[in-house]
């Protein structure tokens, strides 16, 4: 998502004779992309009110969103399969630690 957002809002494009990184110098003060164009693109990509007016809030969201998603999936907190057991091809329950905790009546 970040790549499509930045490439859709670059201020300076490079030619095939120069590197794609030519438009950026390490430590430069000015931005290489237009946040207003990124705001419009992100608003069309998701929905109008999901876009960000400020670069820092946009980058925080782009960094936090995958972390939150991966963490919830790692701990099986997706909300759709609580108290669901894992079954094999014969339909027998394969007990997991979650099944043991659910049966413990804590």
In 3D, which of 7, 52, 53, 55 has the Cα closest to residue 30?
Answer: 55
**Confidence label for 103 from pLDDT (cuts 50, 70 and 90):** confident
What pTM was estimated for this model as a whole? Answer: 0.40
pLDDT at site 71: 86
pLDDT at site 49: 65
pLDDT at site 3: 63
Q: What are the pLDDT digits (tens) for 51-80?
A: 666 777 777 887 888 898 888 888 767 666
All structural domains of the chain with their residue ranges: 2-75
Q: Torsion over CA of 95, 97, 103 and 106, rounded to 10 degrees?
A: 180
pLDDT at site 8: 60
């Amino acid at each position: 998502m970040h790549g499509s957002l930045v490439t859709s809002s670059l201020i300076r494009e490079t030619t095939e004779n120069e590197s794609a990184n030519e438009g950026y110098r390490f430590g430069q003060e000015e931005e290489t992309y237009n946040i207003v164009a990124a705001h419009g693109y992100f608003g069309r990509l998701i929905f109008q009110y999901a876009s960000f007016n400020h670069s820092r809030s946009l980058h925080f969201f782009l960094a936090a969103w995958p972390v939150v998603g991966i963490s919830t999936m790692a701990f099986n907190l997706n909300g759709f399969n609580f108290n669901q057991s894992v079954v094999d091809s014969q339909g027998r329950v394969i007990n997991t630690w979650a099944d043991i905790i659910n049966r413990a009546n804590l």
